[in-house]
Amino acid sequence: MPGHSRAELRRLPNVLSLSRVLLAVLFVPAGRAARIALICLAGATDFLDGWLARRTNTTTRWGALVDPIADRLFVLAAIVTYVLNGELSVVESLLLLSRDLATALGFVVARMVPKLRAVEFKARFPGKIVTVLQLVTLLALVVGVQPLTPFIAAVALASVLAIADYAHAVWRERAR
């Protein structure tokens, strides 16, 4: 059944993406070793879902939507956990989430501005770099690397570049 196996392949990347929502839930009560494993699993599933979808030519609109949402939920759950435990300050958490906050705001604005409604939001390379740096920073935090400032600064800098890149892409797309 070739059609059946293709449908299964189409679903697998989405299952991998959605697994990060479960990983986010598991992260909150987890201990140190489990958190390391969960962060590594989140990174692995983030890589695998996109790679598998592209490799098997089974990318879907649903997958393109679910993947970044699952990423954001995992990172948000981890960061909020560390803020509530007193291991991250609110300022540090805002720096770590700056790209996510700007992207969410940009998405809302784009939906409110008629000229921008048709612009398709897609993952871009600088944004992927931010996600990797966020996960690396979470790993550094869980293993106790000090100072954490260089990691947070790297995420903040990459976030500024990603925000500028997204804004430029939307502006270019709007001009078409």
Cα–Cα distance list, 176 to 3, 61, 87, 107, 162 (Å): 37, 22, 46, 18, 21
pLDDT digits (tens, 9 = 90+) for 16-44: 999 999 999 999 999 999 999 999 999 99
CB atoms within 10 A of CB 117: 10
pLDDT given at position 65: 84
Q: Is 95:156 a contact under the CB 8 Å cutoff?
A: yes
pTM of this structure: 0.89
Decide: helix, strand or coil at residue 79: helix
Return the amino acid letter for 7.
A
- Whole-angstrom distance, CA of residue 114 vs CA of residue 3: 39
| Predicted confidence (pLDDT) at residue 2 exceeds the cutoff of 60 | no
DSSP run (H or E) holding 31: none
